[in-house]
């Protein structure tokens, strides 16, 4: 198929308005696959296909649009995390190019803003025409499934609790907590991130007969949207999973970069996203010296702060974060709310469960503590973007009243207590924490529910009507309850039976 694309120079020109020259950010493309094809080359290929006898195979991104007519359509699929691993190994290039050796950050940015958006449009437009799906996630071990079995599997997933496949990655500030708790490779220097519920990048495992099929979990969002999300959430966000759970591990590591996220208007105008990266930090663990930076100190000079940030970035005196940003003591089970526009970062020796809106790369780094990235180069700093979105009136008193541990009891019963822990009224996500020694009954309430077992070694999720098989979860595991499930219960299980344990639940506010 590549021979039927425009030249690489033409494709670079077509994608330039969305790729831009920025090291991190681009614009969410409106391009479709048609823009990548050379019409003259396509005409030649179609003529050759119509005149050639016997079996004819056309393959590549957009093959079904190029060939127009076919007897059998096999859709070859791969999760985005696997694509990224192959990009790092220089085994994958961007759509229509041979840029295998391009630095990973630039390849990823082009894929995020252009390639994956174009490919998703192909996927959604052609889904009802697929005959087979090819799982290509494991090198040299493709697995093919008939579309009828594939659709049946997706329909079954949205009627029960499930987990996506988490992935872990090191970082310049990474810690040691996840190595032990999540039983990761001890030989690695650190692990900084875990994406435990980011369906756009995670994968989903399906057991079909004796085979395990790995699919992008986003396919469930695309093709079982209303059953997964709920009609109210679908009406608001479309076929997009709006809630993100991930881990930030600085236990034995360093501070995250001091940062701020764009306001909704800014992210829409600058990057083509229609909602923004609102966040919160839930502390799964913390050392005695742990802190979270959040909000501005009273009466600071904002011009002086921006000048100091620029001077530090240009090699001058290190930026004095303590002079401008409030530092809060952080303890296990604290919940810090971070609506967009609020300057923040978690300090060293914290284990953060980040409960946030789905957008996840729109971080404006203001100061990175003078360190280098894992590639030995300075990480990109975004002071000019950040200066345009910082909400300077979110000072110490405002943060204390609005964003720090705003816990209130909602309800209680035999052996359980339900608490509201956030998020702020500016954010569309609601979070509820349950402490319990006995079974707790839940209802999805018209929205997909995302939960994490934040205290206790094991819990079991059950259906009051036996609509799904019991589902066991372990400490720090994130799990998803599709809205279609409606009602479910959770109780301590295994080693936690009879003990006081806790979950935190996120859903889209009504």
Tell me the C-alpha distance between 112 and 84, whole Å: 10
Checking DSSP bridges between strand 132-135 and strand 74-77, what pairing results, if any? Answer: parallel
> In the numeric block, which tokens belong to residue 506?
């996120």
Instruction: State the pLDDT at residue 410.
Output: 96
pLDDT at 213 over 70: yes
pLDDT at 1 over 60: no
> In the numeric block, which tokens belong to residue 250?
């600085």
Instruction: State the pLDDT at residue 488.
Output: 98
More confident residue, 51 or 142: 142
CATH for the stretch 408-508: 2.60.120.10
pLDDT at 405 over 90: no
Instruction: State the pLDDT at residue 415.
Output: 97
Q: Does CATH number 2.40.37.10 belong to domain 243-402?
A: no
Cβ pair 469, 462 in contact under 8 A: no
From 124, 146, 136, select the one nearest 73 (Cα to Cα).
Answer: 146
pLDDT at 270 over 90: yes
Instruction: State the pLDDT at residue 378.
Output: 79
Mean pLDDT (the chain) is 95
pLDDT at 460 over 90: yes
Domain with CATH 2.60.120.10 in the chain: 243-402, 408-508
Segment 363-389 mean pLDDT: 90
Share of the chain above pLDDT 70, in %: 100
From 490, 259, 282, 266, select the one nearest 383 (Cα to Cα).
Answer: 259
Q: Which helix (H) or strand (E) holds 246?
A: strand 243-249
Segment 303-322 mean pLDDT: 94
DSSP for 388-452 reads TT--TT-BHHHHHHHTB---EEEEEETTEEEEEEE--TTSSEEEEEEEESS-EEEE-TTS-EEEE
Segment 249-261 mean pLDDT: 97
Tell me the C-alpha distance between 271 and 117, whole Å: 13
What pLDDT digit, counting tens, does each position of 430-451 carry?
A: 999 999 999 999 999 999 999 9
> In the numeric block, which tokens belong to residue 130?
């697929």
Segment 169-197 mean pLDDT: 96
Segment 224-242 mean pLDDT: 97
Instruction: State the pLDDT at residue 266.
Output: 97
What pLDDT digit, counting tens, does each position of 2-18 carry?
A: 588 999 999 999 999 99
Q: Give the long-range contacts of residues 145-153, CB within 8 A, separation 24 or more.
A: 145/208, 145/211, 145/213, 149/208, 150/213, 151/223, 153/206, 153/208, 153/213
What pLDDT digit, counting tens, does each position of 18-60 carry?
A: 999 998 999 999 999 999 999 999 999 998 888 888 998 999 9
Instruction: State the pLDDT at residue 2.
Output: 58
Tell me the C-alpha distance between 59 and 74, whole Å: 9
Instruction: State the pLDDT at residue 311.
Output: 95
């Amino acid at each position: 198929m590549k021979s039927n694309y425009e030249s690489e120079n033409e494709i670079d020109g077509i994608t330039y308005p969305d790729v831009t020259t920025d090291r991190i950010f681009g614009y969410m493309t409106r391009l479709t696959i048609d823009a990548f094809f050379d019409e003259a080359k396509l005409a030649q290929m179609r003529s050759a296909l119509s005149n050639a006898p016997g079996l004819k195979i056309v393959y590549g991104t957009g093959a079904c649009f190029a060939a127009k007519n076919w007897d059998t359509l096999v859709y070859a699929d791969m999760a985005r995390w696997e694509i990224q691993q192959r990009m790092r190994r220089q085994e994958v290039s961007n759509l229509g190019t041979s840029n295998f050796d391009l630095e990973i950050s630039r390849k990823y940015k082009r894929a995020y803003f252009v390639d994956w958006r174009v490919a998703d449009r192909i996927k959604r437009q052609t889904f009802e025409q697929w005959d087979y799906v090819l799982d290509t996630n494991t090198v040299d071990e493709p697995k093919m499934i008939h579309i009828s079995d594939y659709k049946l599997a997706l329909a079954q997933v949205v009627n029960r609790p499930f987990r996506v496949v988490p992935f872990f990655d090191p970082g310049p500030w990474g810690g040691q907590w996840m190595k032990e708790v999540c039983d990761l490779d001890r030989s690695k220097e650190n692990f900084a991130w875990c994406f435990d519920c980011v369906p756009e990048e995670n994968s989903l495992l399906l057991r079909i007969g004796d085979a395990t099929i790995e699919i992008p979990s986003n396919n469930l969002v695309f093709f079982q949207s209303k059953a997964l999300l709920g009609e109210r959430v679908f009406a608001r966000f479309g076929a997009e999973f709006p809630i993100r759970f991930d881990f930030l591990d600085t236990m034995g590591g360093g501070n995250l970069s001091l940062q701020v996220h764009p306001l909704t208007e800014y992210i829409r105008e600058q990057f083509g996203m229609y909602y923004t990266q609102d966040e919160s930090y839930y502390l799964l663990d913390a050392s005695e010296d742990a802190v979270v930076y959040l909000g501005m100190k009273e009466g600071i000079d904002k011009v002086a702060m921006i000048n100091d940030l620029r001077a530090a970035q240009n090699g001058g005196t290190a930026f004095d974060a303590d002079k401008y940003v409030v530092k809060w003591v952080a303890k296990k089970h604290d919940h810090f709310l971070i609506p967009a526009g609020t300057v923040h970062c978690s300090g060293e020796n914290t284990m953060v469960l980040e409960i946030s809106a789905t957008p996840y790369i729109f971080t404006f780094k203001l100061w990175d503590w003078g360190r280098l990235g894992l590639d030995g180069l300075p990480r990109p700093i975004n002071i000019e973007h950040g200066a345009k979105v910082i909400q300077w009136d979110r000072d110490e008193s405002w943060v204390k009243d609005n964003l720090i541990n705003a816990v209130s009891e909602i309800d209680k019963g035999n052996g359980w207590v339900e608490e509201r822990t956030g998020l702020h009224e500016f954010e569309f996500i609601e979070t509820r924490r349950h402490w319990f020694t006995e079974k707790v009954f839940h209802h999805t309430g018209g929205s997909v529910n995302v939960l994490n077992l934040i205290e206790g070694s094991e819990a079991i999720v059950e259906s009051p009507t036996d609509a799904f098989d019991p589902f066991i979860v372990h400490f720090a595991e994130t799990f998803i309850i599709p809205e279609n499930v409606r009602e479910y219960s959770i109780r301590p299980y295994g080693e936690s039976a009879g003990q006081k344990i806790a979950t935190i639940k996120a859903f889209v506010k009504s």
